[in-house]
Structure 1
Amino acid sequence: MKVLKFVCCVVVLALLWGCAPPLIVIPTEEELDAVKRFKKTVAIIEISEKGSPIKGISESAFSGLENALVGHFNLVEREKILKVMAERKFAERDDVERYTELGKLLGADYLFFGRAMAFFNKSEIKHSIKYYKSKEKEDYKSKEQEKGEDYKSKEQEHYKSKKKEEKFSGSIWRELKGTCELNIKIVDVGSGIVRYADKKVGAMSRKEGKKHYNDEKQFYKALDYATKTDIIIELASTFRGLRKENSRILSQAMEQATEKFKDLRDKFPQTGQILQILSEKEVVINLGSAYGIKPGDKLIIWEELAPIKDPKTGVVTVPKQKKAILKVKKVTSGLSCIARGKRKYIRMIRVGDKVSTH
């Protein structure tokens, strides 16, 4: 019996261990310093709220955008940006040349400019209706049929049986919905060219004061009352509570919008190379948590082709093509990870092959 209990415990622990999330390897200060020169440095200059019906969302946009970029880029500290802007007397209307000068002073490769918009839709009364069958009443109907009870017509029979079979269920609630938009423009400090411009939208809603009804007459009476009094009574009595709820909803909507800017990682990929072939399915790559790499990320192995000289411009380029796509199995340090792929792909890979995050 004791042996059986021991075996069961081992099985349970094994299952729990298999379901546990992968460990997060935190890079050391030395590793972070070592990779700084290989990552692009960005400075978030401003996020304006100009034109937004609701103010006070720029801080949420700042923190959300920083969270989306951290690890993949070197971020210039906000305090340093404000200090340099104050010393050099930068204004919001300054031209691109002035801002590229600012970027050089900050040691940034790219400057981020944003505009945040927040909207709160008026609260709406929502409802749902459902009819469901009752087994007890179905049995009653079948007994009546067995007695040979006749109806005037088949239509009446269908209507009567339907009435007996169905039960009513209805719900009424107030829905609060907030929407946030974040427009981002990225300027290359070296050339002054806009490298990226996009808009992301986040929307969140919340159900409040939901009530259930099993009586159809009571439901429609309550729905009529709620619809008529929503504007006058409900908004007046819960105004403060709604303002607090609005703030929470808009903050969540902005988080959703900034989260979508993680696609910037694809626009500005990290690069590395194959360090070691571990087995028929696994390799070691010099990209780790200091680069923002995590388990599950996909890495592309590239093959460089022969250099080609363009007869028109005289520029020599080295074209490349995808050799394989691997998946990060484990992050072993701030500077390395183990990636896994199919045997046929690993056979094609050589130590020193170029790798990128996209």
Structure 2
Amino acid sequence: MKVIIHTGMDDTGSDAVQSYLASLSEANIHWFDWPDASHTSLIGLLCADDIQKLPAFRKSEKTKDQLLRDKDDWLLKLEQTLKGKPQETLVFSSELFSSPRPASQRLALRFLSLLAKYARHIRMITYVHSPAGYSRAQIIQQALSGQGISFEFETLWPHYRQRFAKIESQLGSANLDYVRFQPEKFPGKSVASDFARRISTPAPESPKESGSTWSLEGLALFNHIQTLPEMSAAKHPVRRRLSRALGRSLETVGSTDFALSADTQEMMCQFYQEDLSWIEGRVRGSLREDINPDKTEISSARDLSRMITNAPELLDHALVALSIKPAATPRQRLVNKLGIVDDYFGNTSRTTEAPRRRPVRNKKRPGKRNAGRA
């Protein structure tokens, strides 16, 4: 049996490709059935030294022995599937194969070795950002993480060779297809449709356009909200959930597109010229981009803060979706719990006031002595 592996850098539409592949009903090409949307946790289960330390299994109620039995069961299923009809193709998808993290690469390489025992041929298709595309995606990902945005070169550069050199060495360069992520040039502007074309399967019936919809206004607002006292004081799990909820609400706010400034991009490309040449030789073309005059250039977090300072009405506009309705959803209840709506956005008569401190309730119950006195 032949194997095709899909992978892609962050924000290259992997979710859309995985959803499409899971719905395939072709006679000779099959998605390897696994409970999760991607095969990342499958690879971890089969290839990790300590399964329970993986994020996917850290909170599992299963014991170590139970997970090891699951590993044996899935390994047997994989082997039996790969020993199937030679003319058929099995498809996998995981961003582990395009990760720069050494731990992720070790798992990916072990999985490739496992597949090589039974597969007649392995082909990998990976979607890669241009430096400009990656820096934009990374700025958004940093904001969503709630950890603040860094404009350091080390953070905003894709580090292509670090991601792919070991995978290419094991798989062979002829079996690794590098595809530049350019949604505007994909069929229907859909990465899922592009992938379908590359593996000769029917295109998705209702493909969604790929690419981030974040505007400069939405990003500036999100970055600003992350600095509010309630956010910084919240416990990490609560802050992470709220960040995701706010991200979904602010993703469609505003319309100004943005990019890392041309000067910063050029300096970065010069600094990493060797790495850039390495990947350009594999995508067979230049990955440098001319700055679109319709995009606003940014080069530091100050550029985002300046937007809020110069246009404070954006702050009121953006949180309407969170404060205009009763707390009928988990997202709104979470926002209310932190006091952000009440203290900042819920009452327009107090929008210029400093946030009120909520009284600290005494959670201790009165003892028998106090209860008797009452």
TM range (shorter): under 0.3
Q: Which has the higher strand share?
A: 1
Q: Which has the higher helix share?
A: 2
TM-score by length of 1: 0.22
